[in-house]
Amino acid sequence: MLSVVVPVSNEEESLPELHRRLHEALDPTGEAWEVVYVDDGSTDRSSGLIEGWVAGEDGVVLVELSRNFGLEVAMSAGIDAARGDQVVLLHADLQDPPELIPEMLELAAEGADVVFARRIGRQESALKRGLATAFYKAMERLARVPYQGQAGDFRLMSRRVIDAVQRMPERRRFLRGMVAWTGFKQVPIEYERAGRVGGRGASYPELFRLAVEALTAYSDVPLSIATIVGSVVAAVSGAGVVAIAVLAIAGAIDWSAPVLVLLALLFLGGVQLISVGIIGRYLARVHEESLQRPLYLISRVVRDGPAGEPDREAGGE
């Protein structure tokens, strides 16, 4: 069976069209399939729409989280609830076309454990395209995971990949990096990403936080950069002091020791704060992991059969 996991956060505008297109794409394949909608604290009618589909047809599951935990955690909750031998991650905003899933299934039948959708075009603002390109370039150069180009969360995974991801205990998650880290046979499928149909996409601060989490989770280069910058600044500062002293002795400039000391302290203090901030990001990850809180909490699960009875204990462990 194929499971399609769809995180939902105030997506009532796009959900009916997504549900219709999923049926159009997957019914002709003859495959048994289910769609797991994960309501990540929606405040609109999203949950009610999904409940109606659960009551009216087979293979629809609603996983309702106790609050908004964020996209990465919502996808993890859907993966935990999925019963399929293969799992597809798909956003609800219709930027990623469900019509690609049959082609993904064909590649999986040829032996691929992961089929990831790589974007060759994006119908988004120039600023967002530029920031996305910069992020993927940084991941290519800095991260310790195989580079997959401009590949988002839209991907198909085999059960052994899902099992491997579920064994990863980290709380701050970057699923596309976790899947790439597992290895196995991973093949791309290319497409042009559409614009959002409705709802609110991730804000720029949210995207920035995700980028920071991705880089700190899969690269220690930022720590090395802090060390390198500190060393370079110390060397430049030392050379500058010597040069100023020589020029002052030669009478080329007026010596003003308090001003020079103040500038040097401000400059070095700024570098130290940057370095401490980078180290702090890593320490924050260690602290959060040490708390051992559940990844998420489930309010209820509604599927075909007795409503409100989850197959797994709530908590995401």
Confidence grade of residue 303 (pLDDT, cut at 50, 70, 90)? confident
Which residue would you say has higher pLDDT here, 207 or 151? 151
Mean pLDDT of 258-286: 69
Cβ contact 3:36 at 8 Å: yes
Which token pair is 183?
Answer: 């290895």
- What's the mean pLDDT when you consider all of the chain? 76
Confidence grade of residue 255 (pLDDT, cut at 50, 70, 90)? low
- Whether the predicted pLDDT of 62 surpasses 90: yes
**How high is the pLDDT of residue 192?**
78
Cβ contact 238:244 at 8 Å: no
- Of the candidate ranges 42-51, 82-91, 298-307, the one whose mean pLDDT is the lowest: 298-307
pLDDT tens digits, residue range 2-11?
999 999 988 8
Question: What is the spatial distance between Cα 102 and Cα 21, in angstroms, rounded to a whole number?
Answer: 12
Enter the DSSP assignment of 232.
H
Which residue would you say has higher pLDDT here, 157 or 215? 157
CA of residue 91 relative to chain centroid, distance: 12
* 286 sits in which H/E element: helix 257-291
Which token pair is 123?
Answer: 């119908």
- Of the candidate ranges 55-69, 76-90, 99-113, 140-154, the one whose mean pLDDT is the lowest: 140-154
In what side-by-side order are the strands of the sheet with 86-89?
Answer: 186-193, 114-122, 151-158, 86-89, 2-8, 33-39, 60-65, 298-303
- Whether the predicted pLDDT of 304 surpasses 80: no
Give the percent of the chain with pLDDT over 90.
Answer: 15
Q: What is the three-class DSSP state of 268?
A: helix
- Whether the predicted pLDDT of 212 surpasses 70: no
pLDDT tens digits, residue range 186-211?
888 887 766 555 545 555 566 666 66
Tell which residue, 90, 85, 93, 92, has the closest CA to residue 101: 90
